[in-house]
Chain A
């Protein structure tokens, strides 16, 4: 198990280097010149060149092997790619050019609000999706199951944006049941008040597709031989569902769940925008639109690390939930 874990960690390194190279290529090699935005609208070319020098963008993009052959190691190492890889792998992402803040501070202050929105929505959503899916499987083909299937398809068909717009306009704007927008300056109980509507809308938005997916997974299991055997032996339906079916359906559930975890960190773009929640949801989009290179780099790298970590966790959990799986 330990050997497997170490091997998988070792595999992650080339993948992360690859991701880092792609980001560098897309935004530094073929992307727009970030100095333009920093220099201001009246800046002359000389002033921009000075800024470019100051930001290190005057250095060669790639290492020059000729320097190494000439024994000039500092000259070989002095290039934008190496600086990029060094700052990325040491997590020294620097400052956002757009917001003049350190990126670590931006992530630290934005992750809390994002997670406070996405984690409850995820927990409630997951529980409701699996519970409803199990009830559907339990009552397969009956009115309840059919109604849920129809509602799920309807739920999938409603665009997320429309759900947010109508939910906010009616539940908050017209009927005043929830605050229209906002997030308290300090974390505390009022957070519940401000997050209630966005969380409920987030849960509602994911319900249709989630129920459809888990219903299929659970129905597959209910048709298995061991379920028929359990029923034939007179095992109660509750024990069949929770003790056997749910346990055996855990592999696809774990796959689905763990893959979602990295996205919890990145928040919800639309919900955060509409409910004025100061999270990370729009940070990456904003950074791409404004060529805020340090932020793009930081968020791409950090989310890749979390995503790859989640994939590793998925494999480890497989072994935990299914004794047939061994990690070698």
Chain B
């Protein structure tokens, strides 16, 4: 009886507390503190904020406001253009392309942190880059970026990596022949062979500098204590679902850009040209992994910008692909932008059925109804691809016509007959591997199966977790598989490397495509230092791939982004994660938006 009474009292108190909330809860205002606050949401958890280990878009979105790199992309210019950020200018490159000399910009300071003497951030030096890159090479740090950025290129750095695997405590003072700082403001990189894409990687967050003092204080826990030179610094615990970044008082004097692509200039994005940045005092982040609360939060004005969840799309976007008048009247604005990505079904070219039968691959490509696919799974947020080089990447050809990405069942059947002749009879049941087990992935797998059944082919679909899928790709066990690729930098080589023979599985060429003519063109192209000089070769390589059809291309993605019009200077940039320093937030929400919360 006593237990029962105790339980009763406890339950009654708790119930009373919770039920009374509606009587005193008032939704938080979005202004009133006198600060300019940018409210943003992340749809996944942050892995960590160790710059050398950053590889996911969620962590990059936050780290990009804290850390900076030697080079960056001009915020509003299209096509994308590299500009110096922590470097004073573009590098001096030796005639043989193997030595880079980079002057570090003076007057750049790390944010204040207890790691520094007196808690005051000190000036950036060339040594901070060398330390950071050695950290990336240190195998104990398990950075996913080393293999992409420096492996096989920087003199002595691979040896440093091997050394780090042998010792218990890595000595970062140990010299690396290819990384030198003759004085605090000069950084010299010596390569074993020319690396025409190195500058792109030097605009990549994992190459951001790290101060020795910070490393000494936090050690492995540096992942939780990001200290950079960027416009903002962390205030709070990013492992919780709400945290803030506040303005870095040591941030140098920098100005809003005065150049923009014509279309962006027309949107009024140059109105603040020449004004000092950042404008924002604080960024409030919330991690919301489910689409419903994310969407409700945007409608209630609790976050300034958002993508459109699939289930809400029809209520927000009209059939003419414009923003619904109701939302437009409430001060919501829409941006539609293509992003440099490609999605496809890949054929394993080592497979005896699909790999050795070009008409079969072409037939399957012609039998795939891309318009319905894009409408059904992307709410129309995509367009039919013409080749593996996507829009926004120099070398993309708007006028390219791909004879195998149109929907042509009759031609597909004719090609299938040809394919059956090659196969010596009916095509056996094919196997498609899908990377995921959720409903949407299953629907996509089923869509593919039905499309191929209409052609007269039977397909079995295998749904697997991402690690399992990767495992099977590595061992070349897939026959057909669904995959996508997002650009790391704005050069078509970043897509064409997926067809280069030596990159076959377990490398990134998961289709195991190999074509000597393609490989020769690829090797010639990447040896050309000027990006424009490579483009004609890229086009020839693209022609070869289109005809060989190792991929059934499905989509170039189009991003629909919404924002409240109190948010100014907002525009997506595919390669730049530190864009919030350019943005500003106007006064409180219009009353119409407060109706819902």
- Chain A residues within CB distance 8 Å of chain B: 31-34, 36-45, 47-48, 50-51, 53-54, 97-101, 109, 120, 123-124, 126-128, 131, 165, 168-169, 172-174, 176-185, 192-193, 195-197, 199-200, 242-243, 246-247, 273-278, 282, 286, 288-291
Contacts and interface: CB of A to CB of B under 8 A. Distances in A.
A196 B21 contact: yes
Interface of B: 1, 4, 7-8, 10-12, 14-15, 17-19, 21-22, 25, 27, 45, 47-48, 50, 53, 55, 139-140, 142-148, 151, 161-162, 165, 223-224, 236-237, 239-243, 286-290, 292-293, 296-297, 299-300, 302, 465-468, 470-471, 474, 506-508, 596-597
A185 B147 contact: no
A282 B241 CA distance: 13
B55 to A, nearest CB: 7
A34 B22 CA distance: 47
Contacts of A247: 1
A312 B419 CA distance: 66
Contacts of A123: 7, 10-11, 14
Contacts of B597: 172-173, 176, 180
Contacts of A97: 142
Contact of B22 (A39, A42, A177): A177
A243 B1 contact: yes
Given A176-B596, A276-B289, 19 more contacts: A33-B467, A36-B467, A39-B147, A40-B143, A41-B144, A44-B506, A47-B147, A50-B165, A51-B142, A98-B47, A100-B50, A127-B7, A173-B296, A177-B25, A181-B297, A193-B25, A197-B21, A200-B19, A274-B293
A38 B574 CA distance: 24
21 contacts: A32-B471, A33-B471, A33-B474, A37-B144, A37-B467, A37-B470, A44-B506, A50-B165, A109-B240, A124-B15, A131-B8, A168-B292, A173-B299, A183-B240, A183-B242, A192-B21, A274-B292, A276-B241, A276-B286, A278-B241, A290-B466
A34 B7 CA distance: 46
Contact of A192 (B18, B151, B286): B18
Contacts of A124: 11, 14-15, 18
B293 A276 contact: yes
Nearest to B297: A180
Nearest to A32: B467
Nearest to B141: A100
B14 A101 contact: no
A40 B297 contact: no
A290 B241 contact: no
B524 to A, nearest CB: 21
B44 to A, nearest CB: 9
B11 A182 contact: no
Given A126-B7, A169-B296, A182 B241 contact: yes
A242 B7 CA distance: 13
A236 to B, nearest CB: 14
Given A100-B223, A126-B11, A127-B8, A180 B286 contact: no
- Nearest 9 A/B pairs, CB to CB: A40-B144, A127-B11, A32-B467, A291-B467, A177-B22, A100-B48, A196-B21, A43-B147, A42-B148
B142 A38 contact: yes
Contacts of B243: 185
A180 B293 contact: yes
A129 to B, nearest CB: 10
A177 B23 CA distance: 8
B27 A176 contact: yes
A247 B21 CA distance: 35
A291 B122 CA distance: 40
Contact of A278 (B7, B239, B508): B239
Contact of A178 (B25, B55, B146, B466): B25
A182 B286 contact: yes
A36 B292 contact: no
A39 B467 CA distance: 12
Nearest to B28: A179
Contacts of A127: 7-8, 10-12
A246 B4 CA distance: 9
Contacts of B289: 273, 276, 282
Nearest to A97: B142
A197 B151 CA distance: 51
A261 to B, nearest CB: 14
Contacts of A36: 467, 470-471, 474
Nearest to B287: A276
B47 A99 contact: yes
Contacts of B151: 42, 44, 47
Contact of A288 (B55, B240, B465): B465
